[in-house]
Amino acid sequence: MNATPILSIENLVKHFPTKMGVVRAVDDISVDIVEGDTLGLVGESGSGKTTAAQCVVGIYPPTSGRIVFDGTPIGVMFNRRDKELKRKIRIVFQDPGSSLNPKRTIKQILSVPLKVHGMGTERERLAMMNRLLEMVGLPPTEYLYKHPQAIGGGEMQMVAIARALATNPQFVVLDEPTSALDVSVQGKIINLLTRLAEELDLTYLFITHDLSLMRNVATRVAIMYLGKLCEIARTDEFFRSPMHPYTRMLLSSIPVVTDEEELLKPEKIVSKGEIPSPVNVPSGCSFHLRCPERMPVCSTVDPEMIALKDDRVVRCHLYDTPDMGVLDTIIIP
């Protein structure tokens, strides 16, 4: 990509020692996110996508690797005492019911980041909170003094979004922000996030297991499997011509309602077996036990991420040969 990224994840590794062995939650991933973009990080449960996001916001320090935000290396140095980074990088969690303190009013919840970052006088902070609620579509006079349990799940997530925006961030991590909500309100939250990105010039890292959601939300899509990235591509190219066998398997399983939509899907690929444990990752390519296109090399050699044309990156031995349009450099060692 030609534009300078606002966030670069470089060879990020996050392992968790346990009595059963080392959990390789994130196992050497690299990806750039350009300012104003939305990167959809997609994977099944246990793929490591949420752990990667939590390393970005400083919940976990990386085992190794580097995270660079707006030209400044973060990662191990990024902790809860680093107020400036905490102001610029915010997160919206999956379940607003557990991320909002039930004993506090919405006013008290929204006031916390404003006070922590020394934003305004008490009177000015009240005006800021009113604007934040109006921004997410909640009338301040009706919601400011309510407790989270007195409002619906969608409204709670709107409050969580307002809290994330309180410090005027540049970058927001969205950790499955709609998966805990009823289908009837999911679209409303997605439309809200899309509108706010345009109005406030936000950059998103959108974590999800719902690949179909990314078609109209993300500018680029990255697929994770068992701690590693499989494929990164622009959204339009990704849905038009998926390359990695795992990606094609995911796309072929998306439910559709019309025959026309069915024709646009890749040929049906039946998933074989279960996702292996991140404590006992298979040798070679971690997907080879489930892959319908596996070759002998797949069981012994872990493929590298290879840069192809059209800003596409793929990690698969199917594309190791020179006649596949591979660029001169492998962007991820």
**Spatial contact of 163 and 195, defined as CB atoms under 8 Å apart:** no
What six digits make up the tokens of 148?
A: 């989270």
What average pLDDT does the segment 193-215 reach? Answer: 94
What average pLDDT does the segment 167-179 reach? Answer: 95
Residue with tokens 């192809």: 308
Cβ neighbours around 292 below 10 Å, total: 11
Phi first, then psi: what are they for 126, rounded to 5°? -60, -40
**What pLDDT score does 253 carry?**
74
Confidence category of residue 332, pLDDT binned at 50, 70, 90: very low
Q: Is a pLDDT exceeding 50 seen at residue 326?
A: no
Q: Is a pLDDT exceeding 60 seen at residue 2?
A: no
Where along the chain do its domains lie?
5-324
**What pLDDT score does 83 carry?**
81
What average pLDDT does the segment 250-263 reach? Answer: 61
**What pLDDT score does 271 carry?**
63
Confidence category of residue 222, pLDDT binned at 50, 70, 90: very high
Query: Using CA atoms, how far apart are residues 236 and 234, in angstroms rounded to an integer?
Result: 6
**Spatial contact of 285 and 314, defined as CB atoms under 8 Å apart:** no
User: What does the DSSP assignment read for 9-58?
Assistant: EEEEEEEEEETTEEEEEEEEEEEEEETT-EEEEE--TTSSHHHHHHHHTT
Q: 88-92, 164-168, 310-314: which range is least confident on average?
A: 310-314
**CA angle, 78 as apex, 22 and 96 as ends, to 5°?**
80
What six digits make up the tokens of 246?
A: 């795992």
The share of the chain scoring above pLDDT 70, in percent, equals: 87
Query: Using CA atoms, how far apart are residues 78 and 318, in angstroms rounded to an integer?
Result: 38
Residue type, 147: H
- Three-class SS state of 264: helix
5-324 in CATH: which number?
3.40.50.300
**What pLDDT score does 4 carry?**
82
- Three-class SS state of 243: coil
**What pLDDT score does 38 carry?**
97
What average pLDDT does the segment 237-266 reach? Answer: 73
Nearest partner of 331 among 232, 247, 243, judged by Cα: 232
Nearest partner of 95 among 10, 26, 181, 32, judged by Cα: 181
**Residue 307 C-beta-side C-alpha neighbours within 13 Å:** 12
What six digits make up the tokens of 135?
A: 């921004």
What average pLDDT does the segment 8-17 reach? Answer: 95
Nearest partner of 180 among 90, 96, 92, judged by Cα: 96
Cβ neighbours around 129 below 10 Å, total: 23
What average pLDDT does the segment 24-52 reach? Answer: 94
**What pLDDT score does 266 carry?**
57
**Spatial contact of 155 and 181, defined as CB atoms under 8 Å apart:** no
**What pLDDT score does 184 carry?**
83
Q: What pLDDT, in 10s, does the model give residues 123-158?
A: 999 999 999 999 999 999 999 999 999 999 999 999
Average pLDDT value over all residues in the chain: 88
Confidence category of residue 175, pLDDT binned at 50, 70, 90: very high
Phi first, then psi: what are they for 74, rounded to 5°? -125, -165
**What pLDDT score does 75 carry?**
60
